[in-house]
Structure 1
Amino acid sequence: MATQYEITGTNAKGIAASIERGVADGGLPPGTALPPVRRLAERLGVSPGTVATTYQELRRRGIVVTRGRAGTVIAASPAVASRRPPVVPEGVRDLAGGHPDPAFLPALLPPARLSPGARSHRAAPRMAPLERLARDWFAADGVPAEHVTFAHGALDCAARLLSVELRPGDAVAMEDPGYHHLLDLVPALGLRTVPVAVDDEGMRPEALRGALRAGARAVICSPRSQNPYGGCFSAGRRDALQEVLAAAPEVLVIENDHAADIAGAPLHSLVAGGPAARPARWAQVRTVTKYLGTDLRWAALACDPTTLARHDGRLLLTSGWVSHVLQETVTRLMSDPATSALVGRAREVYAERRTALLSALAGHRIGAHGASGMNVWVPVRDEAAVVSGLRTRGWWVAAGARFRIAAPPGVRITTAQLAPADGVRLAADLAAVLAESQATYGG
């Protein structure tokens, strides 16, 4: 229970504001247990119903979570204030951030000319050359490209789609382990997360079926380069998932193909193929931050016509459009032959580095996963012990807790900047750390 921060307030709104201030300024850090309803009610001189209403509102907004007998606690990533990644200790190799190798990011090509200032961008939010490039980009992988639009990144797109399609309390089927920012986003929108187990081929059909039976109204998945597990849909897995989704035609399916051009695996999309096979409501979002530039906050979205209308309707009421200066920059990069060659080389090198680490780990009989993308997931017994042990040996990896809902523990290792020879050293160090951990905790 919180002892350093004094919660105040005489009504539900005031109590909620007090707790939110505590979260924002660090007085109530993630994991802090809040007082039981009746105890806090007695302390503040209010009714238990008032405190219960407060906790319910904070749950809806993603600031607290309920953990059965453990009571109500501050969420791991509360939807308030600004939570930055942990600072990488000095003198260690950063393999935790999920970042690409800067050597394979092209030099930004600025617009040839700036967009005229006094004109209606809302009337023509998408620049025609980039829209044509986006259609070709999707069509090359068999994704229907009749309806295409833009957003400010995958998270921006997902947030907009979920907010117009779902209502607070609705459930979303999410990969477990999955992308931590999406896992943070869903509860911040007041939605419930339903975990779906994954393997080297992505979402497991039986787990997805269970999530749909639990009432999920939307599904978010990665067809390849799944983060952090690295899974990618095979043709058979794609077919099995489509069969499961066919029984729930009202469910919105969002595919996050965030690393399309460097995933190192072919696309077997849930939305490719004929109309009878793909979901009735669907969207596939692609971004360029992993291979054109981490500051290029642009995404392309292919979707069904209803989803397009709802997405663009909400976009029109908020930011209105994606910057034409940004669009022109992306257009020049996507049209540049030298950039295309660099992206192709990045795809080859990332695959080489990922598979080299997997091979080195296998040599030490360490099971790991990384069928595509830039990350490798290593199941471990004690995440903290492994992270700490590797830190003492000069490596900084990501503890798996922020990627997990109900999945077993593990660590994520980003391999984008890990040369094969360094992967051999890392594997040996990890084997030593795991041996120490086993000696500590027993077989």
Structure 2
Amino acid sequence: MLDIITSAVETKTPEGIASAISRLIRGGALRSGERLPTVRDVAAALGVSPATVSNAWQALSKVGLITSRGRAGSYVLEASTAWMPPHFGELAGSHVVARLDLSTGTPDPLLLPDLGLALGHVPTRADTASYLDTRVLPDLEKQLRASWPFVPASLTILDGALDAISRSLEAIVRYGDRVVVESPGFPPFFDLLEQLGVEAIPVAIDSEGMKPELLAAALDLNPAAIIIQPRAQNPTGVSLTEQRMRELARVIRAKSHVSDPVIIEDDHSGEIATGPAFSLGQWFPRRTLHVRSFAKSHGPDLRIGALGGPTSIIDRVVSRRMVGPGWTSRMLQTILYQLLTASPSVTQISEARRVYHARQRALSEALVRAGAEHSPSDGINTWLRVRDEKAAILSLAASGIKVAAGSSFYAVPVESEQFVRITAGRIRDDFDQIGALLAAAARAS
């Protein structure tokens, strides 16, 4: 093992040694549970001081790659996410608690609305007259339709955005089909496609959304579906512009003789995004499924989302659920309806949207002042280009900051693209200090 480590080290600094060990662990050359050589042995082999290696070991420990067992030595940490789907597991990263965790992609709990008033409207008994009762509360459906970006033929409620997308794909695709995804994109989508035996066709995005010319090329492969996040795209925070949406619609229409994929739109941050609610359903209502989630705005633990689109597909989703969970609890639907209509919660969500927007701007401006290239994002996440992903993560870990590795967000590895995802919405203060640390990490190699 000592030979493997010494041959992998390119720069004999704490950062260089830590980066080499990180690459060996992530590449599988050093396996979970293996004992590392002693600090003194590594130092002697590299011709550096024990303090240099010790600092490298400390950095690796902070990011959750190794652990010290005292006199027994240091070991490669056992994977804590083995039970997760592979892309989801990569997104989860290490379980080490950081001083400031900006890797989660979750909202600031202090900006979630108070549930007290909504809970007061929940029935005191979890009863239903029939297992065949309507799946959606009429008042909630009316409220959702009033703000839907196109007129959906049917609408149903499911257990969050990912549940809606999973069930939509199950109703649409077959083994061996192809599905267009954004690149970078949301890792759980890649897991879903792999489990369904479907090939992901990555299409790059820019500051306005999916690139039309690359979508055109992808449509020549006759995909069964397109998955797109129109607002606050995860991980980049990009929201589609009206012009780009029109360009994508033109491309899809021009290729209709080759392919007629179902369009699945994941509006996961709609209530707290500042971008307008554009939808391809305005042009293709008979083959657009629009998903609206309330996890980022009203709370991840509500586990509720809405799916609207053509009746032919929605009916298949509802029918399949009848021999599974049946429906999403009407008690949860009552809570959501109250949160969407009661003045106090509506005001709280409006304030959360304003605060997230201000935090995104404050962080972006701090990054630019510190010498990084960056533009403000929408929603709670932002995307920062770095010189070396692993070096950046290690640099930030040394300061007690955790971010998500950008490589996790690519269906197909892209070596030339080095980024990290930052959950900017969880930064409440100290923007200049955090921006300086992030900018320094972006230059690390």
Q: Identify the TM-score tier after normalising by the shorter chain.
A: 0.7 to 0.9
One-letter amino acid matched to 1:195: P
Aligned to 1:43: none
Which deviations, in whole Å up to 9, do the C-alpha atoms of 1:255-288 show, x marking residues without a partner? 001111101111222112xxxx225411100011
Q: TM-score, normalised by structure 1?
A: 0.76
Q: Distance in 1 between matches of 2:86 and 2:242?
A: 41
Aligned to 2:346: 340
Q: Distance in 2 between matches of 1:430 and 1:409?
A: 14
Q: CA deviation at 1:30?
A: 8.5
1:213 aligns with 2:223: no
Q: CA deviation at 1:189?
A: 1.7
Q: CA deviation at 1:436?
A: 4.0
State the SS of the aligned residue for 1:261: coil
Instruction: Evaluate the alpha carbon distance shift between residue 32 and residue 165 of structure 1 in structure 2; reply closer, same or farther with a 3 A threshold.
Output: farther
Give runs of aligned pairs for residues 128-143 of structure 1, distance below 5 A. 128-138=138-148, 142-143=149-150
Q: CA deviation at 1:428?
A: 1.1
Which deviations, in whole Å up to 9, do the C-alpha atoms of 1:88-120 show, x marking residues without a partner? 534520111011111111222324314553521
State the SS of the aligned residue for 1:178: coil
Instruction: Evaluate the alpha carbon distance shift between residue 395 and residue 311 of structure 1 in structure 2; reply closer, same or farther with a 3 A threshold.
Output: same
One-letter amino acid matched to 1:297: R
Q: Which moved more, 1:367-376 or 1:161-170?
A: 367-376
Q: CA deviation at 1:369?
A: 5.0
Q: Distance in 2 between matches of 1:428 and 1:282?
A: 43
One-letter amino acid matched to 1:218: A
Aligned counterpart for 1:125 among listed residues 122, 135, 146? 135
Aligned to 2:363: 357
Aligned counterpart for 2:383 among listed residues 374, 377, 384? 377
Q: Distance in 2 between matches of 1:211 and 1:286?
A: 26
Q: Which moved more, 1:251-260 or 1:124-133?
A: 124-133
Cα contact 2:93–2:404 (8 A) shared by 1: no
Which deviations, in whole Å up to 9, do the C-alpha atoms of 1:268-326 show, x marking residues without a partner? 22112xxxx22541110001111111111111111022222222222223221111111
One-letter amino acid matched to 2:327: W
State the SS of the aligned residue for 1:124: coil
Q: CA deviation at 1:341?
A: 0.2
Aligned to 1:292: 298
Q: Distance in 1 between matches of 2:261 and 2:122?
A: 43
One-letter amino acid matched to 1:107: D
State the SS of the aligned residue for 2:301: coil
1:266 aligns with 2:276: yes
Q: Distance in 1 between matches of 2:128 and 2:293?
A: 29
Q: Distance in 1 between matches of 2:391 and 2:402?
A: 12
Structure 2 gap segments, 5+ residues each: 1-24, 30-80
One-letter amino acid matched to 1:431: A
Q: Distance in 2 between matches of 1:255 and 1:279?
A: 12
Q: Distance in 1 between matches of 2:88 and 2:366?
A: 38
Which deviations, in whole Å up to 9, do the C-alpha atoms of 1:132-183 show, x marking residues without a partner? 1111231xxx321442111111111111111111111111100111112212
Give runs of aligned pairs for residues 377-416 of structure 1, distance below 5 A. 377-406=383-412, 407=414, 408-416=417-425
Instruction: Evaluate the alpha carbon distance shift between residue 311 and residue 236 of structure 1 in structure 2; reply closer, same or farther with a 3 A threshold.
Output: same
Cα contact 1:30–1:76 (8 A) shared by 2: no
Aligned to 1:318: 324
Q: Distance in 2 between matches of 1:262 and 1:304?
A: 26
Aligned to 1:5: none
Cα contact 1:262–1:373 (8 A) shared by 2: yes
Q: Distance in 2 between matches of 1:386 and 1:342?
A: 35
Q: CA deviation at 1:364?
A: 2.9
State the SS of the aligned residue for 1:283: strand
Cα contact 2:87–2:408 (8 A) shared by 1: no
State the SS of the aligned residue for 1:190: coil
Aligned to 2:208: 201
Q: Distance in 1 between matches of 2:131 and 2:418?
A: 47
Aligned to 1:433: 441
Instruction: Evaluate the alpha carbon distance shift between residue 173 and residue 31 of structure 1 in structure 2; reply closer, same or farther with a 3 A threshold.
Output: farther
Q: CA deviation at 1:124?
A: 1.5
Q: CA deviation at 1:190?
A: 1.4
One-letter amino acid matched to 1:190: G
Instruction: Evaluate the alpha carbon distance shift between residue 397 and residue 82 of structure 1 in structure 2; reply closer, same or farther with a 3 A threshold.
Output: closer
Which deviations, in whole Å up to 9, do the C-alpha atoms of 1:308-351 show, x marking residues without a partner? 22222222232211111111111221121100000000001101
One-letter amino acid matched to 2:290: Q
Q: Which moved more, 1:344-353 or 1:82-91?
A: 82-91
Cα contact 1:229–1:369 (8 A) shared by 2: no
Which deviations, in whole Å up to 9, do the C-alpha atoms of 1:8-42 show, x marking residues without a partner? xxxxxxxxxxxxxxxxxxxxx98669xxxxxxxxx
Q: Distance in 2 between matches of 1:386 and 1:265?
A: 30
Aligned to 2:109: 102
Q: Distance in 2 between matches of 1:77 and 1:31?
A: 19
State the SS of the aligned residue for 1:321: coil
Cα contact 2:107–2:425 (8 A) shared by 1: yes
Aligned to 2:123: 113
Aligned to 1:424: 432
One-letter amino acid matched to 1:337: S
**Root mean square deviation of aligned Cα:** 2.5
Cα contact 2:111–2:348 (8 A) shared by 1: yes
Aligned counterpart for 2:260 among listed residues 250, 255, 278? 250
Q: Distance in 1 between matches of 2:377 and 2:87?
A: 36
Instruction: Evaluate the alpha carbon distance shift between residue 436 and residue 79 of structure 1 in structure 2; reply closer, same or farther with a 3 A threshold.
Output: closer
Cα contact 2:136–2:157 (8 A) shared by 1: yes
Instruction: Evaluate the alpha carbon distance shift between residue 400 and residue 30 of structure 1 in structure 2; reply closer, same or farther with a 3 A threshold.
Output: same
1:330 aligns with 2:336: yes
State the SS of the aligned residue for 1:233: coil
Structure 1 gap segments, 5+ residues each: 1-28, 34-74, 438-443
Aligned to 1:58: none
Q: Percent of counterpart pairs with the same letter?
A: 33
Q: Distance in 2 between matches of 1:186 and 1:157?
A: 14
One-letter amino acid matched to 1:258: H
Cα contact 1:315–1:321 (8 A) shared by 2: yes
Q: CA deviation at 1:379?
A: 1.4
